Homo-oligomer: A and B are copies of this chain.
């Protein structure tokens, strides 16, 4: 296609604004032409901020208008399957935030709908487009640290998740909502699927914060055995008030690699020798992965313009869902769980 790719944003909340900003400020080949949100205040506030005229209370209404090429879906997880399938069936390319869906069955429905309609499906794993992650991946592929043996990936985030995101029934909890990125990252960087996981979780702040969702947890440690024989560990902490923390460490047969850092800006200040040096930390995911968010949207738009399949697709999203589900079974049943158990079950 020629001309800017016209994108309709579905979900005008925090994640939606990040993508709106990318489209309006940085992705010159894309255009934000419409916004959908069922909450009028949220819809109008975001639409005003980004100067978008076409506003809709539902995806259906937007599709009735129809003057766009693609959707960017940033709504709660439990709505993903329905929205993505609807958009795909209407012939719109789909950019879908993580976690892809609640179940592997839902993932499969989305994948099938996109295939049937011949539209592209890209999952919002922006770390794959963050410059330091891209460089790290390429250096691992080039053999710089040898065969990867052990990976640790963490995502610690500030802020109590919204009610739906701490309800296992609507979101699969933190291991899906927060750690989706880790599930994708470790599989990508290790070039291997997880084979077996074991998870421990803990709930430290739920009571104090008045969370009454059953099975709520705010800390998790997951051990992973990969099909390659390598080992891994994913940790999640949310809410952690100290900042947004996303780092990876890999040990290969020839050496170690660290990706990411706590430091959020190269300004160091000391005004008190008893207190010490003070350096900004990454405060939010939007700020931490600014280039990653721009990059993934550029990629999506570029794929549509050049008719090239996205580098991060439904099968990647599905594996991240599988990791979250297997580790959830693990902590409930207090045993290591094979991914194959969960992958099979999906077809029930």
Contacts and interface: CB of A to CB of B under 8 A. Distances in A.
A302 to B, nearest CB: 12
Interface residues on A, range: 35 or more
A255 interface: yes
A271 B146 CA distance: 9
Interface in A209-234: 218-225, 229-233
Contacts of A242: 251, 254-256, 270-273
A233 to B, nearest CB: 5
Contact of A268 (B147, B199, B262, B280): B262
Interface in A1-30: 24-26, 28
B219 A231 contact: yes
Q: Which of A26, A222, A277 has the most CB of B within 10 A?
A: A277
The quantity of this chain's copies bound in the complex is 4
A237 B150 contact: yes
Nearest to A253: B204
A80 interface: no
A162 to B, nearest CB: 19
Contacts of A258: 262, 266-269
A271 B259 contact: no
Nearest to A146: B271
A241 interface: yes
A334 interface: yes
Contacts of A201: 231
Contact of A243 (B221, B253, B270): B270
Given A152-B235, A200-B225, A261 B266 contact: yes
Q: Which of A204, A225, A231, A268 has the most CB of B within 10 A?
A: A268
A256 B154 CA distance: 13
A223 B223 contact: yes
Interface string A277-289: 1111101000000
Contacts of A221: 150, 223-224, 231-233
A276 B281 contact: yes
A276 B144 CA distance: 14
Nearest to A262: B277
A97 interface: no
Interface of A: 24-26, 28, 131-132, 135-136, 139, 144-147, 149-150, 152, 156, 158, 196, 198-202, 204-205, 218-225, 229-233, 235, 237, 240-245, 251, 253-281, 283, 334-336
21 contacts: A24-B28, A25-B26, A132-B265, A135-B267, A144-B269, A144-B271, A149-B219, A150-B221, A198-B223, A200-B223, A200-B225, A201-B231, A231-B235, A242-B251, A242-B271, A243-B270, A258-B262, A258-B269, A263-B266, A263-B277, A276-B281
